[in-house]
């Protein structure tokens, strides 16, 4: 059995990550319009009605802006904490509240643990997915990290984490000083260097794959994000590193045996998924 992880798109214009097991299909975040979500899922031969639930990290529009659409249009269940549900005006009969550090059981083979992360103006969480004894971390929109987050992420087999900006590009770019300070502050986003430092703390021999997410179009470049992170990891990481961009899905990552994934592997991305996810 396997856990299949597919970023449907990642960036300031929208984020959603599909997790699939033999029994469950869920999204982490839904920051897309209904039409955009349908289009992205169609590339995997899926429809939003094939989803069992959505889990929202926080209420900012590029992460939770499409959650209410999913409730109204497809009757999907949304898991969110109280602050996020209130800010998004979620439908109460389709809302499942959670609190940080309490496990959310989503089926017989998938559990999610929300872990708080610092992000200004939001009650944001990372999610640690557990499947058949393996773990995957999904971390975005944080300007720094905590000892608690390091403890829960360390040793995960897969880590998806933002590498939002290159410090030089941000400081030399056209943004006003106040915005630059907000992005680079404790409650903002991680720079490439910060992401490398964080990963150097949490990657172990068990870590087989890393996906860098939420790259800024204005203040980052894919080659800068990847090379900077690899510099900090040095020889401690021997697995695969990929980058998820805004116009996904581009690839899938598997924990466990890829041969046992759900039927959606037969879609238009099948050849690419089998090549990059095997």
Q: What is the rounded CA–CA span in Å between residue 139 and residue 125?
A: 8
- The pLDDT, as a whole number, for residue 6 is 98
8 A C-beta contact, residue 242 and residue 276: yes
Average pLDDT over residues 75-92: 98
Average pLDDT over residues 157-175: 97
Average pLDDT over residues 249-257: 90
Strand ranges inside the chain, DSSP E: 2-9, 16-20, 25-28, 53-55, 78-80, 95-97, 104-107, 110-116, 125-131, 134-139, 158-162, 209-213, 240-243, 253-256
Span 85-140, pLDDT tens digits: 999 999 999 999 999 999 999 999 999 999 999 887 789 999 999 999 999 999 99
Span 29-71, pLDDT tens digits: 999 999 999 999 999 999 999 999 999 999 999 999 999 999 9
Q: What is the rounded CA–CA span in Å between residue 154 and residue 178?
A: 33
The angle formed by the CA atoms of residues 73, 124 and 44, to the nearest 5 degrees, is 45
What is the pLDDT confidence band of residue 187, given thresholds at 50, 70 and 90?
confident
Per DSSP, 165 falls in state: B
Average pLDDT over residues 170-174: 95
**What does the radius of gyration of the chain's CA atoms come to, in whole angstroms?**
17
Q: What is the rounded CA–CA span in Å between residue 235 and residue 203?
A: 11
Task: At 242, list the tokens.
Answer: 């990929």
pTM for this structure? 0.92
Number of domains in the chain: 1
* 50-83 CB burial, b ≥16 within 10 A, e <16: ebbbbbbbbbbebbbbbbbbbbeebebbbbbbee
Q: Quote the mean pLDDT of the chain.
A: 92
Nearest to 212 by CA among 234, 189, 235, 187: 189
- The pLDDT, as a whole number, for residue 1 is 62
Dihedral angle of Cα 270, 216, 167, 251, to the nearest 10 degrees: 0
Average pLDDT over residues 141-163: 96
Q: What is the rounded CA–CA span in Å between residue 194 and residue 100?
A: 24
Task: At 176, list the tokens.
Answer: 């006003």
- The pLDDT, as a whole number, for residue 276 is 39
- The pLDDT, as a whole number, for residue 278 is 32
Strand, helix or coil for residue 192: helix
| Residue 18 pLDDT exceeds 50 | yes
| Residue 168 pLDDT exceeds 80 | yes
The range of the structural domain enclosing residue 265 comes to 2-277
The CATH code of the domain that includes 90 is: 3.60.15.10
| Residue 256 pLDDT exceeds 60 | yes
């Amino acid at each position: 059995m396997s856990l299949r992880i597919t970023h449907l798109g990642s960036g300031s214009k929208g984020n959603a990550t599909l997790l699939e097991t033999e029994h469950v299909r869920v999204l982490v975040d839904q920051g897309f319009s209904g039409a955009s979500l349908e289009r992205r899922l169609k590339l995997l031969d899926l429809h939003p009605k094939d989803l069992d639930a959505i889990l929202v990290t926080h209420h900012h529009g590029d992460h939770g802006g499409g959650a209410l659409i999913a409730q109204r249009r497809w009757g999907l269940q949304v898991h969110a904490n109280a602050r996020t549900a209130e800010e998004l005006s979620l439908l109460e009969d389709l809302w499942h509240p959670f609190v940080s550090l309490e496990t959310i059981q989503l089926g017989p083979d998938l559990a999610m643990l929300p872990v708080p992360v610092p992000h200004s103006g939001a009650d944001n969480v990372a999610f640690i997915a557990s499947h058949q004894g393996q773990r995957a971390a999904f971390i975005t929109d944080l300007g720094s990290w905590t000892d608690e987050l390091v403890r829960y992420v360390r040793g995960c087999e897969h880590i998806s984490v933002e590498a939002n900006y290159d410090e030089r590009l941000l400081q030399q770019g056209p943004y006003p000083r106040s915005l630059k300070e907000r992005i680079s502050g404790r409650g903002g986003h991680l720079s490439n260097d910060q992401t490398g430092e964080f990963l150097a703390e949490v990657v172990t021999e068990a870590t087989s794959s890393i996906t860098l997410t939420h790259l800024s179009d204005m203040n980052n470049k894919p080659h800068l994000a990847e090379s900077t992170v690899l510099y900090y990891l040095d020889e401690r990481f021997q697995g695969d590193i990929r980058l998820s961009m805004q116009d996904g899905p581009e690839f899938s990552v598997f924990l466990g045996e890829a041969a046992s994934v759900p039927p959606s592997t037969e879609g238009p991305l099948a050849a690419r998924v089998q090549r990059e996810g095997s």
